[in-house]
């Protein structure tokens, strides 16, 4: 069974541009979370989606948005890119069981975004 997949693996953009990152969760997983990891730092939570609804949002500006599709794949969009948006963007999927609000997260390989 395939793990979490992300595309593209690497991306170079210039300031002011817009970017869309994609994530496909493990089959059967209905929750997807997005994280930003700036070089040398730990990951920071951006969004969590469950059953196509936003469940949680981290402390990121409105330039960051996301959505989850009926097949549970997800897209992260970042508008008006800044140099500081250069980072590894990680997607994780999980499958919360009934009555359980959390479960183990499985991570994709990440998309490395460079903003010039």
User: Footprint of other proteins on this chain (CB under 8 A)?
Assistant: 33, 35, 37, 41-45, 48, 55-56, 58, 88, 90, 92, 101-107, 109-110, 112
Instruction: Give me the least distance between CB of 49 and other proteins, in Å please.
Output: 11
**Residue with Cβ nearer other proteins (12 or 80):** 12
**Residue with Cβ nearer other proteins (16 or 114):** 114
**Residue with Cβ nearer other proteins (33 or 68):** 33
According to DSSP, the residues that pair with 88 across neighbouring strands are 37, 112
User: CA nearest 92: which of 111, 79, 64?
Assistant: 111
Cα–Cα distance measured from residue 91 to residue 23, given in angstroms and rounded to the nearest whole number = 6
Q: What end-to-end distance do the CA atoms of the chain give, in Å?
A: 37
**Residue with Cβ nearer other proteins (80 or 113):** 113
Ramachandran area for residue 63 (φ above 0: left; ψ -120 to 50: alpha; else beta): alpha
Instruction: Give me the least distance between CB of 43 and other proteins, in Å please.
Output: 5
Which residues have CB under 8 Å from 12's CB, separation 6+?
Answer: 113, 114, 115, 116
Instruction: Give me the least distance between CB of 42 and other proteins, in Å please.
Output: 4
Instruction: Give me the least distance between CB of 111 and other proteins, in Å please.
Output: 9
């Amino acid at each position: 069974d395939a793990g979490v997949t992300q595309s593209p693996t690497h991306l170079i953009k210039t300031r002011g541009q817009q970017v869309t990152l994609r994530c496909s969760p493990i089959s059967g997983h209905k929750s997807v979370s997005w994280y930003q990891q700036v070089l040398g730092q730990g990951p920071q939570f951006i969004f969590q989606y469950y059953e196509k609804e936003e469940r949680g949002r981290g402390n990121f500006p409105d330039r960051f948005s996301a959505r989850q599709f009926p097949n549970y794949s997800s897209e992260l969009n970042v508008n008006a890119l800044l140099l500081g948006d250069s980072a590894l963007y990680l997607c994780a999927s999980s499958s919360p069981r009934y009555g359980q609000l959390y479960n183990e997260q499985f991570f994709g390989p990440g998309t490395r975004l460079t903003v010039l």
